[in-house]
């Protein structure tokens, strides 16, 4: 087989991600027929069709899917090389962090603590949902992603999941709500609660604990954002089910207290990186620092 023509591969890669020959041709300022010729030449070299047409849509064949996986790796490596060389000449190295939009801001600050204020590092933080953040990680737009659930394992996606910390969850509320000594079950019967939404691990654990205790709590709010849970607890509409790190400042100030621990319920934090040839050298330091904190 002759040497691979990377121009043909790039045209195929563009069409495969767009899923439409006409739109791709317009974006690349080519005629549709010229683009079709480039794809056909690659198919002839590989000896297999890369697309099959179903109506007006192009769909990858099995060989097309294999070729796309390799093309993704090839062009990502090229972007990684350019980014590494570009950053090497800069006086400040960027650290691109992605964090789940609902993740504790206090935990994010704790994670970044070793590099805050360093003159040689520029911190860029982006929030979003897990799928978008991991997509940006794979496209090299991010160096690391902080989430609270490990990503699904996929042999085709070289993601590395680092378990950073596990924080216990407690009932959090104003001091007045904990003045009367009582059991956990009694407190939950006497006070309304503010909960994370049902799809979270904290909520799943809380519901299981309530079933064990035979308690049906009065739920006044269900929220998927830790920052909003914190604000609602400060407004004293009920007891919040949270890790104490979320309200660290309020506990220090005395406006909120960490009350009854919820046995067996924890919030776990993960850092996800890409298996790269040239990783950002700061990442290892940050991950090691956070793991060391969790052991103390």
Average pLDDT over residues 20-33: 89
- Given this model, what pLDDT does residue 50 score? 92
CA atoms within a 13 Å half-sphere pointing along the CA-CB vector of 56? 3
Model confidence band, residue 203 (pLDDT cutoffs 50, 70, 90): very high
What is the residue whose two structure tokens read 């570009």? Answer: 86
Q: What are 140-177's pLDDT values in tens digits? A: 888 999 998 888 876 566 889 999 999 999 999 999 99
pLDDT at 269 over 90: yes
pLDDT at 88 over 60: no
Percent of the chain whose pLDDT exceeds 70: 93
Q: Which residue has the higher pLDDT, 74 or 204?
A: 204
Domain boundaries, the chain: 6-83, 90-165+269-295, 167-267
Rounded to whole angstroms, the Cα distance separating 227 from 184 reads: 25
Judge whether 243 and 267 are in contact, CB under 8 Å.
yes
Instruction: Give a three-class secondary structure readout of 112-153.
Output: HHHHCCCCCEEEEEEEECHHHHHHHHHCCCCCEEEECCCCCC
End-to-end CA distance of the chain: 58
Q: Please give the CATH architecture assigned to the domain spanning 90-165+269-295.
A: 3-Layer(aba) Sandwich (3.40)
- Given this model, what pLDDT does residue 250 score? 94
Nearest C-alpha neighbor of 185 from the set 196, 193, 176: 193
Average pLDDT over residues 269-277: 87
The CATH topology of domain 6-83 is Arc Repressor Mutant, subunit A (1.10.10)
Please list the residues that pair with 113 across neighbouring strands. Answer: none
Judge whether 133 and 145 are in contact, CB under 8 Å.
yes
CATH classification of 167-267, choosing from 3.30.565.10, 2.40.50.140, 3.30.360.10, 3.40.190.290? 3.40.190.290
- Given this model, what pLDDT does residue 295 score? 73
Nearest C-alpha neighbor of 121 from the set 280, 290, 274, 288: 280
DSSP, collapsed to helix, strand or coil, labels residue 52 as strand
């Amino acid at each position: 087989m002759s040497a691979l023509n990377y121009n043909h591969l790039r045209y195929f890669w563009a069409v495969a991600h767009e899923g439409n020959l006409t739109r791709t041709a317009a974006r690349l300022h080519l005629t549709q027929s010229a683009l079709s010729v480039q794809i056909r030449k690659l198919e002839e070299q590989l000896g297999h069709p890369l697309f099959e047409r179903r109506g007006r849509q192009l769909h990858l064949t099995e060989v097309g899917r294999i070729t796309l996986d390799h093309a993704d790796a090839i062009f990502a490596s090229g972007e990684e090389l350019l980014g590494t060389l570009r950053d090497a000449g800069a006086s400040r190295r960027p650290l691109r962090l992605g964090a789940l939009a609902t993740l504790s801001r206090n935990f994010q600050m704790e994670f970044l603590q070793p590099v805050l204020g360093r003159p040689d590092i520029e911190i860029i933080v982006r929030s979003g949902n897990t799928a978008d953040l991991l997509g940006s990680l794979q496209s090299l737009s991010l160096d690391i992603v902080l989430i609270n659930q490990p990503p699904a394992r996929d042999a085709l996606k070289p993601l590395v999941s680092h378990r950073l910390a596990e924080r216990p969850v407690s009932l959090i509320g104003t001091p007045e709500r904990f003045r009367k000594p009582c059991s956990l079950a009694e407190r939950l019967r006497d006070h309304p609660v503010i909960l994370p939404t049902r799809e979270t691990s904290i909520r799943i654990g809380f519901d299981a604990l309530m079933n064990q205790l035979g308690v049906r709590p009065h739920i006044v709010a269900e929220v998927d954002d830790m920052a909003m849970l914190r604000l609602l607890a400060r407004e004293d509409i009920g007891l919040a089910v949270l890790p104490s790190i979320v309200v660290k400042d309020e506990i220090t100030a005395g406006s909120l207290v960490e009350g009854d621990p919820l046995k067996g319920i924890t919030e776990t934090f993960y850092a996800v990186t890409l298996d790269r040839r040239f990783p950002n050298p700061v990442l290892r330091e940050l991950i090691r620092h956070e793991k060391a904190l969790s052991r103390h």
